[in-house]
A and B are shown apart, each in its own frame.
Chain A
Amino acid sequence: AQSVSQHNHHVILSEAASLELGCNYSYGGTVNLFWYVQYPGQHLQLLLKYFSGDPLVKGIKGFEAEFIKSKFSFNLRKPSVQWSDTAEYFCAVPNDYKLSFGAGTTVTVRA
């Protein structure tokens, strides 16, 4: 079954810095991928998703992710973060009826 791994557990950066969070999936073939975000005290919400087509996917709040098949990766990026981007970020992949998540990356943005 497909799985995803996130290698960064905690990232701390200053406002206006660029952000990149890694996500790797386990094997090739047709794959759909998601990034979810959980702001403090809020429920998980979808940032962006990849199903097919353009490998560069744009999501909400200025985030984007690039699907690179040769690297089994789907990294999340934002060119310039804000304090309000402080949150936990999860990569996810569907397997039949299931949706499996990575361990998550906590991002702390310092003002």
Chain B
Amino acid sequence: DVKVTQSSRYLVKRTGEKVFLECVQDMDHENMFWYRQDPGLGLRLIYFSYDVKMKEKGDIPEGYSVSREKKERFSLILESASTNQTSMYLCASTPDRITEAFFGQGTRLTVV
């Protein structure tokens, strides 16, 4: 059974903290994604990666960075968390040709 695992379901962080969200997939997929999900806005792409050490900005990359040192792991970093980054964060992976995306359970991040 395919799996995308996000390290935390819920996180509460303080403004200004550096935050790491981790995602691991066990399907040997080339592509990995980070989205944030907000009511009425759907899923907005933050960053994606199509290969190890490769990363591309999505639609809303400001305030975020990513790291992909190994094929199975894709990390999202909030350099200095702010309250407007309170959201649900979803990680996904796909094979090279996007036939289907597989999602993790999501991390609900609250920045106070």
Contacts and interface: CB of A to CB of B under 8 A. Distances in A.
Interface stretch (B14-22, B66-74, B76-84, B97-105): B97-105
Given A97-B48, A97-B56, A45 B98 contact: no
Contact of A103 (B31, B41, B48, B104): B41
A98 B97 CA distance: 10
Among A42, A43, A49, A90, chain B packs the most CB atoms within 10 A around the CB of: A43
Given A98-B45, A98-B58, A43 B104 contact: yes
A99 B92 contact: yes
Contact of B48 (A9, A45, A98): A98
A43 B101 CA distance: 12
A90 B50 CA distance: 23
B89 interface: no
Contacts of B50: 97
Nearest to A95: B98
A101 B43 contact: yes
Interface string B35-47: 1000011111100
Contacts of A90: 42-43
A94 B35 CA distance: 14
A32 B98 contact: yes
Given A34-B101, A90-B42, A97-B98, 13 more contacts: A32-B98, A43-B4, A43-B90, A44-B101, A46-B100, A46-B101, A97-B31, A97-B48, A97-B50, A98-B48, A98-B56, A103-B42, A104-B42
16 contacts: A34-B101, A43-B90, A44-B103, A45-B103, A49-B99, A94-B98, A97-B31, A97-B48, A97-B98, A98-B48, A99-B45, A99-B101, A101-B42, A103-B41, A103-B42, A104-B43
